[in-house]
Amino acid sequence: MATEVLLGQGSVRILPKKYAAQFYKNLGVFGELHGPVQVKPGLVVFGPAASFSDLALDQVRTLLPVKKYLFPPKEEQYRFSTREGFVEPEVEEKRTVLFGVHPCDINAVALLDRVTSWKYPDPKYRARRQRLIIVGVDCIPDEYCFCLPMGSHTADEGFDLFLTDIGEEYFVQVGSSLGERMLRESWDLVKQVEQEHIEAFHQRAEERQKAFRHDLDAHRLAQAILVGFSSPVWDEVGKKCLSCGSCAATCPTCCCYDVLDEVNLDLKSGVRIRRWDDCMQPEFALVAGGHNFRAERSTRFKMRFMHKINSFKAEFQRLGCVGCGRCIAGCPADINVIEVFQKITGKKVTSVAG
């Protein structure tokens, strides 16, 4: 017997995989199609993907997260000259349909939404967010994932559509009114939910949860970092850290930036740009007079995680880390934040090797 689910936010339908390519093509009505694409072996990035076959949906993580669409690595704020004054760049109006976003990244975007709306709203971010359509897809975690203990392994909001792989079909959830319209565009491809689909959905969730490999007490993490403020763990990590900033660049929730003016040779015109910056850089805490509040790498590493964990929890009632594992996978010094967190909380360390 079919389970009737009314359309609207929270409604579900079933998409047979044989229709997935056409379903994906139909999404192009709503914006330019993007998703995870493999640019070379072992390297997957979010980028334009004209067809469903271009997508690398078996990937666990992209090199850079969704934030690159909302908060570009480098962007022009405005141009200035003695003749024209200040001229802001034109706002790009096109929409992007980003397909294949995993739950941890969806949670990261939801957190960025709050950060960029807090105290000093970022209009450029908000404009881009309104033009970004998110279609989530579930995944099976690898040895670097720890989104389960961080509470980011599922997404209840922050997407327009979400697809869960249940074998020969996808379980499609609607997350917004726009998502409902997107589903309507492919109404002839989807079907109602049967009890067997619901059972397959729950089985998939159980299998996915069992695939996580790391034990981490995230509930005690903020308190443990404060208690362990003088822990030798920070010095241990500081000796290994290269201060390259790859952890912050690939982090889906890091959003610190620097603003600088590039003046042309005529000394009468130039451009003000905003670019990514991060607290792991030696000059990040450098002030006038040459004093550096965080000259030591160990101090920078510690303060980075005090901000990610303690500050985020205090201001936004959730941790600033979603457990995507990018910082571990991309660290040239092989620093494993899972092990750092485990040591700080007094847990037995489990390595990423399993």
How many domains in the chain? 2
Q: Say whether both 230 and 117 belong to one domain.
A: no
Q: Say whether both 227 and 341 belong to one domain.
A: yes
Retrieve residue 336's tokens: 């494993």
Residue 262 lies inside a defined structural domain of this protein: yes
Place of tokens 């709050």: 114
- Among 190, 210, 230, which residue terminates a domain? 210
State residue 6's pLDDT score.
Answer: 44
Structural domain of 237: 218-345
Q: Say whether both 302 and 162 belong to one domain.
A: no
Q: Say whether both 250 and 307 belong to one domain.
A: yes
Residues of the chain with pLDDT under 50: 1-6, 353-354
Residue 298 lies inside a defined structural domain of this protein: yes
Strands (DSSP E) along the chain, which ranges? 2-3, 12-16, 32-40, 43-48, 74-81, 85-87, 96-101, 132-137, 161-165, 169-174, 193-194, 257-263, 269-276
Residue 87 lies inside a defined structural domain of this protein: no
* Cβ–Cβ under 8 Å, residues 332 and 341: no
Residue 323 lies inside a defined structural domain of this protein: yes
Residue 62 lies inside a defined structural domain of this protein: yes
Q: Say whether both 15 and 33 belong to one domain.
A: yes
Residue 1 lies inside a defined structural domain of this protein: no
Q: Say whether both 335 and 206 belong to one domain.
A: no
Give tens-digit pLDDT for 58-104. 999 999 999 999 999 999 999 999 999 999 988 778 999 999 999 99
List phi, psi (to 5°) of 33.
Answer: -80, 125
Give tens-digit pLDDT for 299-343. 999 999 999 999 999 999 999 999 999 999 999 999 999 999 999
Q: Say whether both 161 and 295 belong to one domain.
A: no
Residue 236 lies inside a defined structural domain of this protein: yes
State residue 215's pLDDT score.
Answer: 83
Other CB atoms closer than 10 Å to residue 330's CB: what's the count?
17
Q: Say whether both 291 and 171 belong to one domain.
A: no
CA atoms of 20 and 181, how far apart (whole Å): 17
State residue 5's pLDDT score.
Answer: 43
Please say whether the dihedral angle defined by the alpha carbons of residues 242, 247, 250 and 255, taken in this order, is positive or negative: negative
Residue 147 lies inside a defined structural domain of this protein: yes
Please say whether the dihedral angle defined by the alpha carbons of residues 275, 278, 283 and 286, taken in this order, is positive or negative: positive
Q: How many CA atoms lie within 13 A of 132 on its CB side?
A: 26
Q: What is the DSSP string of 67-131?
A: HHHHS-SEEEEEEEETTTEEEPPPPP---EEEEEE-HHHHHHHHHHHHHTTSSS--HHHHHHHHT
Q: Say whether both 333 and 237 belong to one domain.
A: yes
Q: Say whether both 155 and 224 belong to one domain.
A: no
Q: Say whether both 179 and 40 belong to one domain.
A: yes
